[in-house]
Amino acid sequence: MGRLLRRQRALLALPLLAVAAWLCASCGGRDAAHRGVARDAAAPRDAGAARATWIEASDGGVPRYVVFPGAGPALAHVLQDKPRVVGFGEYHQRVGGPTVPSAIKRFTEQMLPVLATQATDLVVETWVTDGSCGVTEKKVVANVKKTTARPKATENEIVTLALKARAARVQPHALKVGCADYQKMLGGKNVDYVKLLEFIGRQLRDTAVAAMAQRDRPPATARGGGPDAGVVAGSSPDGGAPAGGAPDRRRLVALYGGALHNDLYPAAGLEAWSFAADLAKHGRYVEVDLYVPEYVAGDERLAKEPWFPLLRRAGPDRVLVVERDKDSYIFVLSTTPLPASAPAATGGAGPSREVPR
């Protein structure tokens, strides 16, 4: 259990949103639990997707992948069959790590515009704290923040995501945490991370289900009784109605947070942390994990996974979509070249910050 807890703590993040907010950005190694991919399930369906050519591994040990010029076209390819729910998970940025654009920043700038063409709601793995739960709340917040060590800049990026989602008529939602919840998270003086991760998985699931139920109501009812308590501060209950009262044909609900909670094929014993199986009951569910190459290049645990050798193909002009399993994808995001005047990187990254080829 001690080893498992150390792994969990290394995977969490705690930025602030408005006064203080919380984002868990866990990342897990799960590929050993995945089944073989049904190849026909991911075959291109439209003219745009037909231009994407899947590259099969010659040795059969590495998942197949396809290359796109950016994260936007990559996401458009994954969303072409219009799933009902998409769970995004990231490998998070940490203090002292490579100073390259974070996954959430790239998601906001490059993927959100594509997502907004289909999505009505975005559940962000964060909650607002106001101190009303006293010492217990402060202990939980301080303990998780110390453990996860996210850069200060990431806090602003979460706020930016919420604001830009709202501007794009995608309703942002935060999780709801009560005083009793904080009490349950504590195990003695420190946070019980098993209970914490189970709680987060449930809250993400329940918030997404509530959003889907809200959208399924008649428009008049939906505008009058939205679940305001779960909405990120400053957003409107309905995400903004289309101009002229035109019917909104978007149906996608998306979630953004950690890459354990969105796992469609969780490893044995970690099922309670994932919302994927429950949300898949409401329609087709797709898992997308976002990996910044510079963040994961030195991760010894991820290096054991079948897709990891594909990091060598990362570059500044491409995004790799790796088909890990049916409806389960990894986006190996683009690398960030160093400025011409900067010294060459050492260790896991070469002069252009690319993973060695």
Write out pLDDT tens, residues 79-127. Answer: 999 999 999 999 866 656 678 999 999 999 999 999 999 999 999 998 8
User: Is residue 180 in a domain?
Assistant: no
* Residues linked to residue 285 through DSSP beta bridges, in sequence order: 85
- In-domain check, residue 274: yes
Distance (Å, whole) CA 211 – CA 235:
14
Return the SS3 of 195. helix
> Count H helices, E strands: the chain?
12, 10
Spatial CB neighbours of 138, under 8 Å, sequence gap ≥ 6: 131
18 domain-assigned = no
CA 233 – CA 231 distance, rounded (Å)? 6
Average pLDDT over residues 70-84: 96
The rounded distance, in Å, linking the Cα atoms of 137 and 182 is 6
| CA atoms of 130 and 136, how far apart (whole Å) | 12
The span from the CA of 345 to the CA of 84, in Å, is 42
Is residue 190 in a domain? no
Count the domains in the chain.
1
Of the two residues 15 and 337, the one the predictor is more confident about is 337
pLDDT of residue 220: 58
- pLDDT tens string 55-69: 887 666 789 999 999
Partnered with residue 152 across adjacent β-strands are: none
Tens digits of per-residue pLDDT, 85-95?
A: 999 999 866 65
- Structural domain boundaries, residue 205: 66-126+153-174+195-332
Is position 19 within any domain? no
Is residue 144 in a domain? no
Could you tell me if residue 136 is inside a domain?
no
The answer as to whether 307 is a domain residue is yes
User: What's the CA angle centered on 73, arms 116 and 78, to 5 degrees?
Assistant: 75
CB-based burial, 264-301: b 16+ in 10 Å, e otherwise: bbbbeebeebbbbebbbeeeebbbbbbbbbbbbbebee
Structure tokens at 114: 């594509």
Supply the pTM of this predicted model.
0.77
Whether the Cβ atoms of residue 121 and residue 253 lie closer than 8 Å to each other: yes
Alpha-carbon span 10 to 197, nearest angstrom: 13
pLDDT of 130? 75
Weakest mean pLDDT among 25-39, 76-90, 343-357: 343-357
Q: Contact, 256 vs 104, CB < 8 A?
A: yes
- Distance (Å, whole) CA 15 – CA 25: 10
CA dihedral 271, 275, 276, 277 (to 10 degrees): 60
Q: In 10 A of CB 199, how many CB atoms?
A: 18
239-260 pLDDT tens trace = 444 555 566 789 999 999 988 8
CA-based torsion, 110, 116, 122, 126: positive or negative: positive
Paired tokens of 277: 């199986």
